[in-house]
């Protein structure tokens, strides 16, 4: 079953995070991921407000986790560490 990669982010260093975003896209695509929402309009109803919200669709939970653990994504993630506060979850789509 397909899965969603859902990230909630507060960027603290826009330049470094920009480098992460530049490198993360190709890493996601290499694992079958496609962005379906990125930094779009949102309404925070509960919990901690994170102004950057990203949702990507993957073919499966395993593909999303493999992407996260890949060398390509981990290299991108080095630019996000220290440049953002984030939460990331992968959720299987039940259809």
Residue 59's domain is classified under what CATH number?
Answer: 3.30.70.100
* Separation CA 78–CA 95 (nearest Å): 35
d(CA 57, CA 38): 12
CB 16 within 8 A of CB 80: yes
Predicted local distance difference test score (pLDDT) of residue 4: 98
> pLDDT per residue over 2-50, tens digit each?
999 999 999 999 999 999 999 999 999 999 999 999 988 999 999 999 9
Helix %, strand %, coil % of the chain (to 5): 40, 35, 30
Give the model's pLDDT for residue 81: 93
Q: Please count the structural domains in the chain.
A: 1
**Rounded to two decimals, what is the model's pTM?**
0.90
The answer to whether 80 and 17 have CB atoms below 8 angstroms apart is yes
Q: Is 72 a residue whose pLDDT tops 90?
A: yes
Average pLDDT over residues 68-85: 96
- What lies within 8 Å, CB to CB, of 43 at 6+ separation is none
Is there a contact between 73 and 7 (Cβ–Cβ < 8 Å)?
A: no
The predicted pLDDT at position 32 comes to 98
Domain carrying residue 24: 3-92
């Amino acid at each position: 079953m397909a899965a969603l990669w859902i990230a909630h982010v507060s960027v603290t260093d826009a330049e470094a995070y920009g480098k992460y975003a530049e490198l993360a896209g190709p890493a996601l695509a290499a694992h079958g991921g496609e962005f379906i929402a990125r930094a779009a309009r949102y309404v925070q109803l509960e919990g901690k407000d994170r102004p950057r919200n990203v949702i990507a669709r993957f073919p499966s939970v395993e593909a999303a986790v493999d992407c996260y653990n890949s060398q390509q994504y981990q290299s991108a993630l080095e630019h996000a560490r220290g440049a953002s506060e984030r939460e990331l979850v992968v959720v299987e789509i039940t259809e």
